[in-house]
Chain A
Amino acid sequence: MTSHETVEGLAARVPDGALLAIPPEYSFVPMAMVRALIRRAVRDLHLLAVPTGGLAADMLIGAGCVKTMEAAAVSLGEAGPAPRFTEAVTTGAVVMRDSTCPAVHSALQAAEKGVPFMPLRGLIGSDVLKHRDDWTVVDDPLGEGGGPIVLLPAIRPDVAVFHSPRADTGGNVWVGRRRELVTMVHAAKTALVTVETVQETDLLADEATAAGTLPALYVTAIAEAREGAWPLALAGHYDADAEHIRAYARQAKTPEGFRGYLDRHVFAPAVQAAS
């Protein structure tokens, strides 16, 4: 049975050292939860971006929450490089495990299916492969002449988080076409979801909504968070606050500027009261 809690309550469920999976910038990023995680001062996260990271990863890294980052890329998109990520990786404060987009998706699909690994084309001859001691190259084991192919071990996150426009009281969560979230949650041991609203109507009762719904059986706990993706967009509901993100990109270029940003937008009493 899905538990209904506060955002701070969800953040408390993410243990230090967890393998935490977060969505890409265009897909239901739980920014209110990220702010709560920073306030809770979670530490030593193995952060997995599915498959690329942005503002959420940059803030968690800047706030000292992350030990290892696995992603195909981390950037703020049109707002430029992710400044805290860039500095942390350059200085070695965070260990980066470089990946490539379909490798993240495939490794999660392996976990989703409960199989130990998934093969993936490409990669052979790249330094991405060379620096991944957990990936293996084998000859097509079925002897069908497929040549060498890379095997990726399943990735099973401890916790997956995202922010959705709505859930129902039964804990079913709307994801629409954002099905990377479904794969991410299927693969993970627990899923913590913030939502704009909780509705009475059962999302599984109507075939039209059921197809875009993540059923409650995968959802550990949900919490309401109005504008919980801000300053990022929530597709179909609100646009990104581009000015705010550009301002972040400028301020977070220095540790002091980033600290000032956290004081104003994460730790200020008014922010906490609203979350």
Chain B
Amino acid sequence: MTRSADEFLICVIARMLDGAGHVAVGAASPIPGAAALLMRELTHGRLLVSMIHGRANNPFTDGGREVFDCAGQGRIDVFFLGGAQIDGEANINLVGTGDYPAVDTRFPGSFGSAYMYFVVPKVILFRHEHTRRVFVPKVDFISAPGVSPPGVYRPGGPKALVTGLAVFSFDEGRARFRLESVHPGHTVEEVLDNTGFDVDVREDVPTTPDAEPDRLALLRSTIGAEVADVYPDFAARVLGAAAAGAASPGAG
């Protein structure tokens, strides 16, 4: 079955949610959001998914603070963050490039990252664009640090990084990423060439498994409508187009 790059990434992230109890999805995260809704469907609702923007799939009734209070108590197992820049120690920058505050390029801002990165046990970093522009030796602004010194309360942190080219794990003790798999059609060399920091590389790096046909079908039939509630433009562009058979055969 042909699938788009976005659909492939949704399936990659969905596998990482296996066994989780409660996944929260924040602003501007349509691909992780779709992955979470897909896993909820596959687990017959055992996975609780909280979309913190929008009405459907948003269980919170005590205002914008509730998701953060909930996470602070340890009631959220998985959260997603991205970054305009991400460095080798998993520091993320959602604010801007150049010298803050007179930045060259300004991005929306840190959102809840400076808190959620500390308290949610499994944070999955996701960034589609895999270039040296994104994966830099050192971020220009630390919205949230990848690791903390001893003594700082930090039950949470980054566990994995998913990009348009590959999947990495993160070792908090060593503050280093490790290349775990490379997406179909890409090579280890290509990944390393486009990464601006050193990473560990596992032996015989496998190819990231492709999207499962039954999950793709589910994504196009059931999940699209649910995603549309929170990310209407994304749902129309990615899942709508895919359903109409217009998707290009992406290689991830």
Interface residues of A (CB under 8 A from B): 24, 26-27, 50-52, 71-75, 77-78, 81-82, 85-86, 89-90, 92, 95-96, 98-103, 105-106, 109, 120-129, 131, 146-149, 177-183, 235-236, 242
Chain B contributes a number of interface residues (CB within 8 A of A) equal to 51
Main secondary structure of the interface of A (DSSP, over half): mixed
Task: With CB as the reference atom, state the residue of chain B lying closest to A26.
Answer: B53
A73 touches B101 (CB 8 A): no
CB-CB under 8 A from B53, the residues of chain A are: 26
Given contacts A147-B153, A179-B66, could you give 17 more A-B pairs where the C-beta distance is less than 8 Å?
Answer: A52-B109, A74-B108, A74-B109, A78-B232, A98-B110, A99-B109, A100-B114, A101-B64, A102-B69, A102-B112, A102-B115, A105-B63, A120-B115, A121-B115, A122-B117, A125-B149, A127-B142
* B142 touches which of A78, A101, A125, A177 (Cβ 8 Å): A125
Distance from A84 Cβ to chain B, minimum over Cβ atoms (Å): 12
Interface residues of B (CB under 8 A from A): 27-28, 53-55, 60-66, 68-69, 72, 94-95, 100-119, 141-145, 148-149, 151-153, 231-234
On chain B, the residues within 8 Å of A75 by CB distance are 27-28, 108-109
- Chain B residues lying within 8 Å of A27, measured Cβ to Cβ, are 64
A101 with B68: in contact, given A90-B104, A123-B114 (CB under 8 Å)?
A: yes
* Contact of B68 with A180 in the complex, beta carbons under 8 Å: no
- Contact (Cβ within 8 A) B143 A126: yes
For residue B229, give the distance in angstroms from its CB to the closest CB of chain A. 11
B68–A242 touching, CB < 8 Å: no
State whether A78 touches B152 (Cβ < 8 A): no
Chain A residues positioned under 8 Å from B151 (CB to CB): 147-148
Query: Could you list 26 examples of A-B contacts with CB < 8 Å?
Result: A27-B64, A52-B111, A72-B112, A81-B106, A81-B108, A85-B106, A90-B104, A92-B101, A98-B95, A100-B110, A101-B111, A102-B69, A102-B72, A102-B115, A106-B65, A121-B72, A125-B145, A125-B152, A126-B110, A126-B142, A128-B143, A147-B151, A179-B61, A179-B63, A180-B64, A182-B63
